[in-house]
Amino acid sequence: MSPTRVFLVDDSAVVRQVLQAALAQDPGIEIVGSAQDPIFAWQRIQGNWPDVLIVDIEMPRMDGISFLRKIMAEHPMPVIICSSLAESGTQFAIDALAAGAVQIITKPQSGVKDFLQRDAQSFIQAVKGAARARIRPAPSLPHNAVAQAPSALLSQRSTEKVIAIGTSTGGTQALEFVLSHLPATLPGIVIVQHMPEKFTAAFAARLNTVSALEVREARDGDRVLSGRALIAPGGKHTRLVRSGAQFQVQVFDGPMVKHHRPSVDVLFRSVAEVGGRNAWGVIMTGMGDDGAQGLQAMHQAGARTLAQDEESCVVFGMPKEAIRLGGVDDILPLAQIPLRLIQLAG
């Protein structure tokens, strides 16, 4: 197989040099060039497109997020943001994910050289994962399918059913699309999106601005209500529990499951146990197999289960494994998932 071709964009010559040396440890990666700012980078990569771009945020002449948006508009490709500004769920990180970044890597404010050398394998795995991503323009729905703003009463109703959604790589954009096209009349939603600690609160706040749903980071004991979407906090597991006739979430510490915390499998298995036929499960774009066994458990418990199709996924790993296990009722392109959930709600 041909090596993954990588282009580096960072205004620090030291960062470019050390990162190039770190990635060169893997014979499956080829550094095809570097640039100190996006304007120069754009000139260099024209007609010789790399497989993966690694881009800083704070650079002269054009910032990295503006460059990312330009790339996605004119020649979509996998982009990894590597910046000290993208730490702890800052708006920079959320903006980068919304603009289409495949992954965020936070550089420390000091000791960058040591960090890059020490975490070389993490960078190598990030590049290899990004190279498998397939970047496409966001789908669209007819104007009359877009969700309308909720009434104040709708978001306070107890929900008799529950929707569980799990996703990973590429999921930030997929979730934004799905949630922005759902009405507030739908049953309550609980979501696991693989994200680092402190990123999920800002991500949920962003989704809350584009959706008719009330979207926020889950807190231990939160009720699952009609018109509300709860996103599992990074660094914690989230599961569904019953309190009488009501659904609630438990947010708790615990070991990683399938290399993740939060884990989609943890959520889906709990939904299978307490939701059964009163639940719908959705697994979307993501690397690996987290959630596949949990969705199978939901399917066996009588839940209706959906998977995003390969063509619309950034990475088809999680849905592919769920389909292989036989736990999926419907395989749908991303553009049809909101419509199907609305149909299921009657």
- Can the peptide bond before residue 108 be classed as cis, meaning omega within 30 degrees of 0? no
How would you classify residue 33: left for phi > 0, otherwise alpha for psi between -120 and 50, otherwise beta?
left
Question: How many helices (H) does the chain have, and how many strands (E)?
Answer: 12, 14
Please say whether the beta carbons of 285 and 263 come within 8 A.
no
181 catalytic residue (yes or no):
no
- Options 37, 51, 56, 168, the catalytic residue: 168
Distance in angstroms (rounded) separating the CA atoms of residues 276 and 294: 12
10 catalytic residue (yes or no):
no
Torsion sign across C-alpha atoms 314, 318, 321, 322? negative
- Options 37, 56, 181, 194, the catalytic residue: 194
- Options 222, 289, 290, 309, the catalytic residue: 290
CA distances from 308 to 18, 23, 79, 202, 285 (A): 38, 32, 22, 25, 7
Give the ranges where 132-192 is alpha helix by DSSP (H): 171-180
66 catalytic residue (yes or no):
no
Query: Which of 263, 267, 283, 265 lies closest to 275, judged by CA?
Result: 267
What tokens does 291 get? 């959630």
Distance in angstroms (rounded) separating the CA atoms of residues 2 and 6: 12
Active site residues: 168, 194, 290
